[in-house]
Amino acid sequence: MQVELQQVNKLFQKDNGQSLQVLENINLTIKRGEFLSLIGPSGCGKSTILHIIAGLEFPTEGKLLVNGQQVKGPGPDRIVVFQESGLFPWMNVLENVMYGLLLKKMKRKEAEEKAMDALRMVHLGRFSKAFPHELSGGMKQRVAIARALVMDPDILLMDEPFAALDEQTRMVLHYELQEIWQKTKKTIIFITHNIREAVMLSQRIALMGTRPGILKKEFLVEAAFPRNPSDNVLVHLERRILASLEQEMEKVLKEEMGDDYRLQKGAHVGDPLYHLGSDI
C-alpha cells in the first residue's frame, strides 16, 4: 500500500478552549497508481484528511504511512492542487510552471523543456507566454495541474480542484484528468462534494459521514476508462451514493435546524426525505 491511514483521530482546539473532534478512527489504504475520491458533506473533514496525507497537519492519534514510512511533514512526493489555482500574477504561464524546478536549482533550459512538456499535457502549450489574468478559470486550473505534474510527485492530492468551474469546463477537465492519470500512472486522491464527478473519475469512492468525520462506505466504480457519462453503471452508482449521502445530510440538517427541521419536513410532504423520520 502506498498510503495508509491507521486509526487516525484528529481534534482541533477551538477558541473557547474546547476541542472539536473532526476525524474519528479513519482507516484508509490507497494503492500505488490508484484513483480514489473522497466525498462527503461540507465540513466532514475531507480537506483535513488530505492535509494529513500532504503532511500539512498531523493526526492527534493514529498514523499516516507513505510507502511504509511514517510521514514527518510535506515532501516532493506529495503535491496538492487546490480549488484556487494560486498562480503568481506577475509571472507568465511558463514561469509559473518552471518556478518549483528553478527552486530545486534545475538549469533554466532543462526546466523550460520540462515545463513545456507539462503544459502540453494539459493542452496549454500555446499559452506559455500568457499571464494568469488572460486565462479562463479552467485554463488557470490546468496551469495549476501542470505546475504540480512538472515536479513529478508520486501522489497528486486534489482538493475540489474543479469546484469553481462551470459545468462544461468541468467536463472537459474530467477528460483531461483521466488522460493525465492514465499517461502518468500517478496515484490520485481527489476530493469533491460532487457525486457525478467522483463517479466519472475514480476507481474507488470513499464516502464520509460527518460530526465527527468517519469513513462510512466504499464504492468500487467498475467501468472502463475513458468514462462515458451516460454509462448505466455510473448512473446507477450515482443514485446509490446519493441515497447514502441523503441520510448524512438529514443528520446535519436536524442538528443545525433543531425543531425547525421537523416543521420544514411537515410543510413539504413531497420531499423525498419526508418519510424517513420516525416521529413525524
Which C-beta is closer to Mg ion: that of 39 or that of 101? 39
Determine phi and psi for 41, rounding to 5 degrees. -65, 155
Please identify which residue in 47, 128, 187, 202 interacts with ligand ADP, judged by CB under 6 A. 47
Helix (H) or strand (E) holding 30: strand 19-30
Which C-beta is closer to ligand ADP: that of 179 or that of 250? 250
Closest distance to ligand ADP from the beta carbon of 47 (Å): 3
Which C-beta is closer to Mg ion: that of 103 or that of 249? 249
Which of ligand ADP, Mg ion, none has residue 274 at its interface (CB below 5 to 8 Å by kind)? none
Binding-site size for ligand ADP (CB under 6 A) equals 11
Closest distance to ligand ADP from the beta carbon of 224 (Å): 30
Which C-beta is closer to Mg ion: that of 94 or that of 207? 207
Which C-beta is closer to Mg ion: that of 106 or that of 163? 163
Burial class (CB in 10 A: 0-12, 13-18, 19+), 156: buried
Site for ligand ADP in 17-36 (CB under 6 A): 20, 22
Which of ligand ADP, Mg ion, none has residue 45 at its interface (CB below 5 to 8 Å by kind)? ligand ADP
Please identify which residue in 16, 17, 18, 42 interacts with ligand ADP, judged by CB under 6 A. 42
Closest CA to 61 of 30, 95, 16, 21: 21
Which C-beta is closer to ligand ADP: that of 40 or that of 132? 40
Site for ligand ADP in 139-198 (CB under 6 A): none
Residue 171 CA to residue 165 CA, distance in Å, equals 10
Closest distance to ligand ADP from the beta carbon of 24 (Å): 12
Q: What is the DSSP track for 96-137?
A: HHHHHHHHTT--HHHHHHHHHHHHHHTT-GGGTT--GGGS-H
Site stretch for ligand ADP (CB under 6 A), options 44-52, 66-74, 78-86, 165-173: 44-52
Alpha helices in 42-107 (DSSP H): 46-54, 93-103
Which C-beta is closer to Mg ion: that of 160 or that of 238? 160
Q: What is the DSSP track for 132-160?
A: GGGS-HHHHHHHHHHHHHTT--SEEEEES
Site stretch for ligand ADP (CB under 6 A), options 38-46, 91-99, 198-206, 247-255: 38-46
Based on the shown chain and the rule CB under 6 A, indicate whether residue 54 belongs to the binding site for ligand ADP: no
Residues 6+ apart with CB under 8 A from 244: 207, 216, 217
Which of ligand ADP, Mg ion, none has residue 161 at its interface (CB below 5 to 8 Å by kind)? none
Cell, residue 135: 486565462
| Cα distances (Å, whole numbers) of residue 238 to 139, 146, 161, 198, 271 | 28, 29, 20, 9, 19
Q: DSSP character for 166?
A: -
Residue 3's SS3 state is strand
Which of ligand ADP, Mg ion, none has residue 42 at its interface (CB below 5 to 8 Å by kind)? ligand ADP
Q: Which residues of the shown chain bind ligand ADP in the complex (CB under 6 A)?
A: 12, 20, 22, 40, 42-48
